[in-house]
Amino acid sequence: MPDRRIRTLTVEDYPHVTAVVDEWWGGRPVRSLLPRLFFEHFNPTSFAVGKASELQAFLIGFVSQSNQSVAYIHFVGVNPSARALGLGRKLYEHFFQVVQALGCTEVRCITSPVNTGSIEFHRRMGFALLPGSGEIDGFPVTLNHSGEGQHRVQFQKTLEPCRPGA
């Protein structure tokens, strides 16, 4: 039985994650979106499940430096052999707790409109799809969000404010 406890993502995970992400994303070339700095400077809000060499899942997130009440999830990935077991949900719920304790009241993230699995996952996690400047396959998208032709669905979820001692 693999170890499914959540631990901190560290720089030791960097080569292992970059070796598998394109495959985990169904062959989409996403590796360049995960430079080493995410594994060095975002440890308090980034998590993994499984040993680095037998990675089950990871999440890279942070508190926005522009608005400290907003947290942002940059990447979440679950090993195809460990999907539909609740690991994505477990990582998100852990992230929500951590950033709530840091004073965040909102979580944001984006995904590509072709990634319908990600859109459904985020809906199940309680995210709303924000209105955009266009629509693709029925989903609201912000056109050219991440560059020319790089349209993105934007998600938002409100967190309850964390009450001290609650």
Q: Among 15, 35, 44, 86, which residue sits at the site for ligand COA (rule: CB under 6 A)?
A: 86
For residue 98, what are its two tokens?
């951590």
DSSP string, 11-61: GGGHHHHHHHHHHHTTT---GGGS-THHHHS-GGGEEEES-GGG--EEEEE
28: contact with ligand COA by CB under 6 A: no
Q: Is position 42 an interface residue for ligand COA (rule: CB under 6 A)? A: no
Rule CB under 6 A: choose which of 85, 114, 129, 143 binds ligand COA. Answer: 85
Q: Pick from 50, 61, 77, 113 the residue near ligand COA by CB under 6 A.
A: 77
- Scan residues 92-151 and list those touching ligand COA (CB under 6 A): 111, 115, 117-118, 120-121, 124
**88 touches ligand COA by CB under 6 A:** yes
Q: Is there binding between residue 25 and ligand COA (CB under 6 A)?
A: yes
Q: What is the sign, positive or negative, of the torsion defined by CA atoms of 102, 153, 91, 126?
A: positive
- Strand-pairing partners, residue 109, are 155
Residue 4, token pair as written in the block = 């499914």
Q: Does 50 bind ligand COA (CB under 6 A)?
A: no
Euclidean distance between the first and the last CA atom of the chain, given in angstroms as a whole number: 35
Residues that bind ligand COA (CB under 6 A): 24-25, 75-78, 83-89, 111, 115, 117-118, 120-121, 124
